[in-house]
Amino acid sequence: MLRAGRALSRRLTSNLQGFHVVNQFEVDDLKLKVTERLHQESEAKWTHIDKQGETEKVFNICFRTVPFTDNGVAHILEHLVLCGSKNFPVRDPFFKMINRSLNSFMNAMTGTDYTMYPFQTSNEQDFQNLLAVYLDAVFQPQLRYIDFNQEAWRLGEGDDGSDDPEKLILKGVVFNEMKGAMADRDQLFFRRFIAAMCPSGTYQYNSGGEPMSIPSLTYEELKKFHADHYSPANAHIITFGDVVLEDTAAHMNKTLTSVPKGAPAKEILKESSFPSARETTWYGPWNESANDVTKQSTAAVGFGICDRNDTWMNFIGQILGSLLSDGPSSPLYKELIESGLGSEYSPGTGFWMYLKDSIFAAGLQDVAEADLDAVHELVFSGLRRAQQEGFPQDRIDAILHQIELSTRHQTPKFGLNLTFGVHPGLLHGADMKDSLETLSYVKRLKEELAKNPSYLIDFIEPLFFKNQHVNKVKMIAQKEYEDIQTKMEEDLTEEKVSKLSKKEKLELLDLEMELEEEQLATPNVDCLPTLSVSDIPQEKTSFVPSQTGENTHWLQTSGSGMTYLRGMVELDGLSQREIELLPLYESVLTRIGRGEYDYRQIGIAQNLISGGFSVKTGILTDRDNVDIARPTLDFYTYGLDEKLDEIIPIFKTLLDANGPDFNPERIKTVLNEAYSNANGGIVGVGHQYSMQYSHSNVTAYGKLNETLSGLTAIKTMKKAVEENDFDSLSNELKQLHAKICSKHLKTLVHSDSDKTSKLDSLFDASRSGKAALVPEAATFESLSKSTWNLGFPINFVSRAISTVHDSHPDVASLRVLSAMMGSKYLLREIREFGGAYGAGANHTGGAFRFFSYRDPSGLRTLAKYSDAVEWVEKQQWTERDVNEAILKVFQGVDAPIAHSSRGVGIWKNYLSVDDIAKRRHELLSVTGSDLLRVNEKYLVNPKIRSDTIIGPQEALLRQEADNPMQSQTQAWQQLRL
């Protein structure tokens, strides 16, 4: 058996199941061995990347997909190929395999010019199982018409469940997904910006699909797109890690030789340079929650830089992009952010290189419409400033140090992320070796700078001032934008319905019924490969840090030459106001001056010696008491062993009472950026915010978590920005910091040898000892119902129900129950039939939580949550479903973690090895009768329940008023930021 990393050199030149070696090389800096092969019969490309000692196994197959339409054909095809295939003719085998596997990552994704299908696992049998399903899915999908209706679009019954043929509405998973995506102003801007920079080819189109164009896609067009693009000759496969190469090659050879060879997809040509600079304007969403509703527009300038194949120029572009725009010491930050015209950079600011043409962009968002032209001028003045002032050597050194450090600091998903990084370049013909040997470019740049200190500065004139491929773009916020989109959807629906006869309308309802019947049918999944609970190890090694001092702990790593330093301050005795200030404190602490450094210098000083410094709020709970939750501050940094003596003094400035400079003007700038970023990011993770708010009304942990990182925290930030009293806020933060500096601190070091003795200077004698956890005297209503109207055209619906503390033996059964409900009921009812992009359940922090993501429904989804509980009661599931749910839970329990993160949970939460072993045994021992019992005990008649809907509020309230059978006596609490 040929396994990667074992006797590799002996077999490199052999024919492996029809795959012939065309190139092989090593990347010493990353400790990689790379073998590039070509499948002789089908011309499929296969690259394997081996890394000594790697236990993870990664597969990623990528196709160049080149749509010339906005109807989302590439994106919809990505969904449909996962809905059943020749050898696995099961409805949605992708979602079913998620629960029959121990994968740590499974997904599929559509880019601007590619579609990829990656997975990662550490189990060899699991790898081969998923490989078989993935290969069959992409090359031999069923592409059924009924699945097209579910995933793409259809005309079907309304959200009220009415089967009135005169009340048909547009539905579909991707249709609703893209309605949500295009409601995100950042995504909208970025997609329109790409089209403005590359207007002549495939990039002018939205590969994800414009919502109002998706209903123009035909089933026949989709099938043709698959035939044209999903062929072996258009495929590039990358595997990584501890893979059995013969078995993998045999699987691939069998599939590749059973389908037509096909041909590479149409090559994407470099965009012709504009004859002169252009200006492009479009409209975007209006946000009533904006800090200043008169400042909601965005302006940017884009520059075409170079071909994606030019790896040296792309490296230079990355360095220039960082020098020009990263951090408060950069010239564009000084010109743009500190101008006060906007709150933060426009989406995509910086250098990016995943298109055929690499691009640099810079601009501002949250700008008044009258100031958009001024932003364009500031971009050029910032570039001229850089040219005139040059780049300080310490900034160049800091950026190069970060690149060098990244080769030593590697995460558990290193291989997976590596495939994400190299695939787009490979599809455009970039050289694999050049793409990986970044440190050789660092060395070359240092040599160039030694010969010519102005080497980087000399690029500014040709790339930015003599470059004609420039576009000055504007996105103007339009108050009527959402109404216009709604009217367009209504008109499109009316247009399509008006062309239908009564018979055709009834046929559509019949199709809807057929779809529902299929979704309700129990599938025969015997054809799908699976792991079993017996494949889960009964025991797993726990890594316990050694206590080396009263408050210092250490865990040994092996040969990394890196030191990872963590600190945790337990924040007992804070007032409610001080707790509310913590998100603001967290946002500013690492971005203001500290010690001898001002706010411009501190980032450079940190990046010269470390991987950066982070401060985040956390929560410490009592595993035996659900009413106990205490905030913490978690500090983290890392660097080379030899830099530790320089790291510690800067780390100390975070912990000293007189360390930070809470300058009011700097706080104002940072909080404006932070609020804009947080507010703009809600729509991307709305299900998380919805769950957090529901959770806040049922447990002490949920209440604290909402205050620290939920919509309530964003609302607190908005209030501070609106009040504009930063002198008072500065004083409050100073007082809070002084209090934090008196609280109990403990540290954890990961390194090759014990270095905790170097940390003595961090521990001030004035710090208090560890304080006992005290229950919070919080009371919660038995039922709360809340809606947040944030201007989104789509819903995020959640429910939280109070349960038990974390050490309770029922927690294991509740976790497995949530996994089974999510995969076996909620996905079917809310995603497949309801048209939401996602749905599920989980258990955490003493609460059982339901959620939906980008959901066209509101109240109807809440009813489905109740139906899910009833579904469990009726035992409409099998013991196999229970076992699959246990597998799903263990994907998280046994997810790979970096050596530098081992033991962190034990250290932070005061856990013992026995605690972890006990929970593992409880999870492995869960039975169907346990699920029935906890469902009845906690969910059938919950003591405390909270529902939250983030979405179109007025429609929701009308819906409840029109459906008294669904209405409850308690009114909805209506909230806004």
Q: Which residues are catalytic?
A: 78, 151
**Sheet bearing 838-844, strands edge to edge:** 838-844, 847-853, 796-802, 945-950, 783-788, 973-975
Give 883's contacts (C-beta < 8 A, 6+ positions apart): 532, 533
Contact call for residues 117 and 138 (beta carbons, < 8 A)? yes
Contact call for residues 329 and 390 (beta carbons, < 8 A)? no
Cα 367 to Cα 365: distance, rounded to the nearest angstrom: 5
Cα 409 to Cα 901: distance, rounded to the nearest angstrom: 12
Q: Where are the alpha helices (DSSP H) in 326-431?
A: 331-335, 372-389, 393-406, 414-427
* Cβ atoms within 10 Å, residue 893: 16
Bridge partners of 746, per DSSP, are 568
Bridge partners of 282, per DSSP, are 475
DSSP string over 130-189 = HHHHHHHHHHSB---HHHHHHHT-EEE--TT----TTS-EEE-HHHHHHHHHHTSHHHHH
Q: Exposed, middle or buried: residue 164 (CB in 10 Å: 0-12, 13-18, 19+)?
A: exposed
**Residue whose token pair is 């806004």:** 976
Which bin fits 143, alpha (ψ -120 to 50), beta or left (φ > 0)? left
Give the dihedral of Cα atoms 255, 257, 262, 266; nearest 10 deg. Answer: 60
SS3 call for 638: strand
Bridge partners of 948, per DSSP, are 786, 798
Helix, strand, coil content of the chain in percent (nearest 5): 45, 20, 35
Q: Residue 873 — φ and ψ, nearest 5°?
A: -55, -40
Cα 657 to Cα 739: distance, rounded to the nearest angstrom: 8
**Residue whose token pair is 């884009």:** 302
Nearest of 245, 248, 253, 256 to residue 12 by alpha carbon: 245
Cα 488 to Cα 610: distance, rounded to the nearest angstrom: 52
Q: Exposed, middle or buried: residue 654 (CB in 10 Å: 0-12, 13-18, 19+)?
A: buried
Q: What distance lies between CA 446 and its chain's CA centroid? A: 35
Give 772's contacts (C-beta < 8 A, 6+ positions apart): none
Give the dihedral of Cα atoms 49, 53, 56, 58; nearest 10 deg. Answer: 0
Which two three-digit tokens encode residue 47?
């690259």
Which two three-digit tokens encode residue 573?
């005795």
SS3 call for 295: strand
Cα 625 to Cα 804: distance, rounded to the nearest angstrom: 8
Which two three-digit tokens encode residue 324?
């020009």
Pairing of strands 783-788, 745-751: unpaired
Cα 799 to Cα 851: distance, rounded to the nearest angstrom: 7
Cα 764 to Cα 45: distance, rounded to the nearest angstrom: 60
Alpha-carbon distances of 514 from 269, 831, 863, rounded to whole Å: 44, 16, 22
SS3 call for 390: coil
Contact call for residues 308 and 359 (beta carbons, < 8 A)? no
